[in-house]
Amino acid sequence: MASIKVTEGEAVFVVPAAGKPCKTWYRVYGDLRSSIRPLVVLHGGPGGTHIYLEIVSQLAYLYAIPVVLYDQLGNGYSTHLPEKKGDTEFWTVELFVDELHNLLNHLGIHDNYAILGQSWGGMLGSAFATQHPVGLKKLVIADSPASMELFMEATAKLRLQLPQGIQDVLNKHEADGTAADAAYQQATQVFYEHFICRMKPMPQALTAMFKMVEKDPTVYHTMNGPNEFHIVGSLKTWSIIDELHHITVPTLLINGRYDEAQDSTVEPFFQRIPKVKWVQFAESAHVPQLEETERFMEVVGRFLLNDQ
């Protein structure tokens, strides 16, 4: 692969309600001043980090597309706010929309960029896109539900595919409110091995991200819940379905055949976004960038460069 310039930095993000100075950490692969439109990558969670999406930087090497990775506020290398755990008025979708605008302005690319959002990142990216942001030219929504109601329905059905003993453990501890129990955590891992990532062993980048969330679960527990299928956080009633017709940029929709973001959760994007293409990855669950890397880079790279 060709040599690519890699730079890191922090963008000051003024959040009065935080009660302290905040910064957004980012890493750039390639030259943002090049003639090729940059791609800004939004990680999942909410409460994840960029690390499991680091592989998307291959687009810089393969197609010369500048790639921006960053950790959202409260996560990874950005400012942490554990004192805000449980504060649903602070941790909102709009907070992260504001942070994205702030980062784009800091990098000087607000007039021409593309977005790739994965899982929660796709939810955030779609919400951002409905507001007709200046400069957004293309959108990739990867492994993301259009509503949490649809997502909870889908994951409930997926759980029925697990061994009965695993289902019993999950049901018991959820009813008892003991999601921190080791047995529940082990049963959760079985779900993840089926519907998050089917690679064995799981890629180090993915397990490292899970460990970072475990170290500071402030955002994840407040907005989502204890895991990917027991949703009790503030996003429980989130839906972007009624706003999707406002997304006017060309959009690429991605999910995996075994994805926890099942077709039923993704279909509203396909039905309601005017300019949309849907590609499913036959051998993937929730992280096709890791499970089918070569095809993922080809599909996303071609979409981003077509009519560049």
Active-site residues, by number, are 119, 259, 286
Distance CA 207, CA 198 (A): 13
Three-class SS state of 174? helix
For residues 61 and 4, the answer to whether their CB atoms sit within 8 Å is yes
Kindly calculate the radius of gyration of the chain based on its CA atoms and give it in whole angstroms.
18
Distance CA 98, CA 295 (A): 32
Measuring CA to CA, which residue among 158, 167, 116, 159 is closest to residue 137?
116
Which residue bears the tokens 């839906």? 239
Which residue bears the tokens 């597309």? 65
Q: In terms of DSSP H, where are the helices of 229-292?
A: 263-272, 288-291
Distance CA 116, CA 64 (A): 16
Within 13 Å and on the Cβ side, how many CA atoms surround 182?
A: 0
Query: Would residue 305 be called left, alpha or beta, if left means φ above 0 and alpha means ψ between -120 and 50 degrees?
Result: alpha
Q: Is the dihedral of CA 29, 283, 142, 48 positive or negative?
A: negative
